[in-house]
Structure 1
Amino acid sequence: MNAWRPKLRIPRLDFHARSIEATQYVESPSAQLQEFLVKLGSALLSVGTASTDIQRTLKWVAVALGSPHTALIVFPTIIFVGMPDEKETRFEVAESQGGEVRFDRAARIYTVVDQATAGTITASEGIAAIDAILAAKPRFNRVLRVLGHGLAAAGVGLVLLGADPISMLYAFVLGVLVGVAKLLVRPGTYAAILLPILTAFALALIVFAAARAGFVAEPLQVLVPPLVTLLPGAVLTTGIQELAAGDMVAGSSRLVSGIAQLLFLAFGIIAALTITGVPASIALFSSHPPLGAFQPWLGVLLFSLGLFFYYCGPRRSFYFLTLVLLVAYGGQLLGNALMGSAFSGFFGALALTLVAYLVQSIPGAPPAVVCFLPAFWLLVPGATGLIGLTQSAAGTDIDASTLTALVGSIVSIALGVLSGTALYRQIFRIAPARWRLRLV
């Protein structure tokens, strides 16, 4: 007799690749579709979404709502929409409504994007929704927002510069002052254009005068953190990302804008340094003391909490924002340990991009764009660039490779974002539909 042999059944892993192309839900476009695309594109521009991502998103919306042959051109401040049945191409200049990006507004805009790509709203309903979002008041009042800006300044000082408790307290106070100035200035005015350089000049005057009187030991620990939300780290990184994606006009214009903003901030600091007469070797010295095991992680939590209040994060978004920031910072530390500082930004950006895209599909989580902006500030290029440019302009004896390292960190972060996006798109293709991942 043959011995009985148990049958071992191995479960079959059957991956079905899903299409990443848009689905058409409406047979023919409505008369308001062109206007809706223009308004939606302008809203996405105003919350800092990359031009290449906006063009892809608007194409999905156009296909879903019945116009697969819509022609789109998106630049960082303007958008053109041409439809086959329309006699003229519409365009709109994007202006940031109410000043800076607000996370609650960005989240609601992306809700409209999800509804439009799913074909669950009409163009006229989308127009009304966008108008209502832009007219809505901030979720938090101004007092809570400026206190949040102070907390963010203290947190980033601890993470990036290893600030001591006294320096963190000074950074918190100056961060509150910067938050007040940013909320009082009306967007689109000359005051708003001059705000970065005037803020850097005023804060540098205060900090350098305090250093001259002996109240501040390392001025950069106090000066740079309050300016962090004025730093163009995200602009520079997005510019490189757009160049890598082939969008030469948008990418180059963002790079020029980001570099100019860094130069303006550095000029304001140098002007204050000249007036106060503090030696550059003292005013611009940065020792970067070694951090303890828990100090930087505490700084990340303070930074996340402060930005949640200042930028009016949606409900429950604080937990997801903190998770993404912790992953970004942890990825950066891991990259630094494995391959050195030149590649640390790549690992941090790759980790934050993948996690941000994955968690945005969880109910209550904010869209990835809400988590990207704070993470770019945390991944160093803006603060490092400001310090390097200021030290170079002042003639301080520093490492000549500082600015080269800045460019390298921006490129590595941009490549990390591109790699993370590509990896997520592959995960989307094979993931079960019940996961309800958001297409990017």
Structure 2
Amino acid sequence: MSARRWRLHLPAFTLRRRSLEVEPVVDTASERLQEFLVLLGSALLSIGTAATDIQRTLKRVAVALGSPRTAMFVFPTLILIRMPGDTETRFDVAESPGGEVRFDRAAQVYAVVDRAVAGQLDADEGIEQLGRIAAAPPRFRGWVRTLGHGLAATGLGLVLLGGDAVSLLYAFVLGALVGAVKLVVRPGTYAAVLFPVATAFVLALVVFGLAHTTVVSEPLQVLVPALVTLLPGAALTTGVQELAAGDVVAGASRLVSGIAQLVFLAFGILAALSMTGVPASTALASTATSLGAFQPWLGVLLFSLGIFLYHCGPPRSLAFLTVVLLAAYGGQLAGAVLTSSVYSGLLGATVLTLVAYLVQTLRGAPPAVVCFLPAFWLLVPGATGLIGITQTASGGTVQSASLPTIAGSIVSIALGVLIGTAVYRQVFTIVPDRWRLRPV
């Protein structure tokens, strides 16, 4: 009797991968498509989007609206777009990146992007909507935004200082003062250019003057939280990210601009230090405070609320913004345990990028760019970068982070953003369409 053969038949399994590219939804491009793309790119630049992401976004919109052969070049302050068959290149200068970034405006701009890619609006409607977005008043009144700036400074002070009530009170008052003045200064004026160094100088005079008393034990850690929205953490990290992506001109110019802004802030602090006569060992001391388990997390919550109010977060976006900031801070702490403080930003930025891109698909959630800006202030290149470069420039005997350490932190966070983006793009290609993830 012959032996019976058993065969096991398994069902075929095929992993379907979606394309990151969009399909045209109209056959013929509108005559005003070029104008719409320029205005849309200018709006994206004004809300702090990286040049690499802007070029990718504009390309998807151009393909969806019937012009897949559109050529474009994106710089930090300039958009160059050429349409097939045109005899001239249209260009426009974007709104000054030094102006205030409003999160409600950013959410509306990305809503226009989503509708354009889906073919739900044409170029004429897009131009009209962008005009209304640019002219819309802020969502919150001035006093609410001023309060928010003070809360953001208090939250960052709580993360850096712990539960010192007097220091937190000073951080709130100085932060609210800076927020009120920022709302008065018009972007693009000489006052706006001089505002960071002048603000750092005046506040440093006040804080270092108090250093002669026992009220403020570590003046620099009281001063830095008030300057939180003047810190160029996002510009530095985005510049390195653009360099890594091949956008040499955009990345180099943004990186130089961020470094110059950081140096200007440090110059204002050091000028005040020389005038007050406070020893550098006292004024620029920065010691690690023993924090309770809950205090830095409470600081992140206050920081999130303050940023939401000051930058006019969209409705129902506070919870999502808080989740992203908690994830970024938690990732940085985990990275510090696994590696060192220099490279902790790598894991923090990776977690931040993944969570921000995933969260933005939920109803009421803000676009990822809204979550990136405050997270970069919270991570290493923000407050601690200013502390380190100020201590280094003082030439004193203060134990401080060296410039290579600060540069390493910036590069690690930029790499974390690139890693997080690469992982998200792979996730996008394999998840079902019903998840409605936004391509990046």
TM range (shorter): over 0.9
1:64 match: 64
Matched, 1:284 2:284: yes
Indicate the percent of aligned positions where both proteins have the same amino acid. 69
Query: Residue type matched to 2:88 in 1?
Result: E
Cα 1:91–1:271, aligned 2, differ >3 Å: closer, same or farther?
same
2:167 match: 167
Cα 1:430–1:261, aligned 2, differ >3 Å: closer, same or farther?
same
Cα 1:83–1:202, aligned 2, differ >3 Å: closer, same or farther?
same
Matched, 1:390 2:390: yes
Shift of 1:161: 3.8
Alignment of 1:241-280 (within 5 A): 241-280=241-280
1:5 match: none
1:304 match: 304
Query: Residue type matched to 2:331 in 1?
Result: G
Matched, 1:234 2:234: yes
SS in structure 2 at match of 1:429: helix
Segment drifting more, 112-121 vs 298-307: 112-121
1:51 match: 51
Residues in 2 aligned to 1:385 and 1:254: alpha-carbon distance in whole angstroms: 17
1:154 and 1:303 in contact (8 A); partners too: yes
Alignment of 1:23-422 (within 5 A): 23-96=23-96, 99-162=99-162, 164-399=164-399, 402-422=402-422
Shift of 1:389: 1.6
1:162-182 per-residue CA deviation (whole Å, 9 max, x = no partner) reads 361110110000000000110
Query: Residue type matched to 1:331 in 2?
Result: G
Superposition CA RMSD, Å? 1.7
Shift of 1:97: 8.9
Cα 1:13–1:76, aligned 2, differ >3 Å: closer, same or farther?
same
Residues in 2 aligned to 1:11 and 1:198: alpha-carbon distance in whole angstroms: 70
Query: Residue type matched to 1:260 in 2?
Result: A
Residues in 2 aligned to 1:326 and 1:354: alpha-carbon distance in whole angstroms: 13
Segment drifting more, 93-102 vs 126-135: 93-102
Residues in 2 aligned to 1:151 and 1:288: alpha-carbon distance in whole angstroms: 22
Cα 1:271–1:434, aligned 2, differ >3 Å: closer, same or farther?
same
Residues in 2 aligned to 1:434 and 1:211: alpha-carbon distance in whole angstroms: 58
Query: Residue type matched to 1:432 in 2?
Result: P
1:79 and 1:93 in contact (8 A); partners too: yes
Shift of 1:228: 1.1
2:48 and 2:97 in contact (8 A); partners too: no
Query: Residue type matched to 1:116 in 2?
Result: A
Residues in 1 aligned to 2:9 and 2:41: alpha-carbon distance in whole angstroms: 52
2:284 and 2:398 in contact (8 A); partners too: no
Residues in 2 aligned to 1:400 and 1:134: alpha-carbon distance in whole angstroms: 43
Shift of 1:403: 1.6
Query: Residue type matched to 2:268 in 1?
Result: G
1:163 and 1:221 in contact (8 A); partners too: no
Which ranges of structure 1 fall in alignment gaps of 5 or more residues? 1-7
1:47 and 1:96 in contact (8 A); partners too: no
Cα 1:353–1:217, aligned 2, differ >3 Å: closer, same or farther?
same
Residues in 2 aligned to 1:345 and 1:12: alpha-carbon distance in whole angstroms: 42
Alignment: residue pair count = 434
Query: Residue type matched to 1:168 in 2?
Result: L
Segment drifting more, 385-394 vs 412-421: 385-394
Residues in 2 aligned to 1:274 and 1:310: alpha-carbon distance in whole angstroms: 33
SS in structure 1 at match of 2:125: helix
SS in structure 1 at match of 2:227: helix
Query: Residue type matched to 1:65 in 2?
Result: L
Query: Residue type matched to 1:128 in 2?
Result: E
Segment drifting more, 354-363 vs 282-291: 282-291
SS in structure 2 at match of 1:224: helix
2:150 and 2:173 in contact (8 A); partners too: yes
Segment drifting more, 141-150 vs 162-171: 162-171
2:156 and 2:299 in contact (8 A); partners too: yes
Query: Residue type matched to 1:57 in 2?
Result: T
2:47 and 2:97 in contact (8 A); partners too: no
Query: Residue type matched to 1:352 in 2?
Result: L
Residues in 2 aligned to 1:49 and 1:10: alpha-carbon distance in whole angstroms: 48
Residues in 2 aligned to 1:188 and 1:153: alpha-carbon distance in whole angstroms: 25
1:281 and 1:396 in contact (8 A); partners too: yes
1:358 and 1:437 in contact (8 A); partners too: yes
Shift of 1:401: 5.1
Segment drifting more, 159-168 vs 263-272: 159-168
Shift of 1:9: 10
Shift of 1:120: 1.1
Residues in 1 aligned to 2:252 and 2:272: alpha-carbon distance in whole angstroms: 31
TM-score between the two structures when normalised by the length of structure 2: 0.96
TM-score between the two structures when normalised by the length of structure 1: 0.96
Which ranges of structure 2 fall in alignment gaps of 5 or more residues? 1-7
Residues in 2 aligned to 1:111 and 1:203: alpha-carbon distance in whole angstroms: 39
Residues in 1 aligned to 2:268 and 2:299: alpha-carbon distance in whole angstroms: 27
Segment drifting more, 139-148 vs 282-291: 282-291
Cα 1:153–1:401, aligned 2, differ >3 Å: closer, same or farther?
closer
Matched, 1:432 2:432: yes
Segment drifting more, 425-434 vs 208-217: 208-217
2:218 and 2:283 in contact (8 A); partners too: yes
Query: Residue type matched to 1:60 in 2?
Result: R
2:157 and 2:168 in contact (8 A); partners too: yes
2:232 and 2:258 in contact (8 A); partners too: yes
1:162 and 1:288 in contact (8 A); partners too: no
Cα 1:202–1:256, aligned 2, differ >3 Å: closer, same or farther?
same
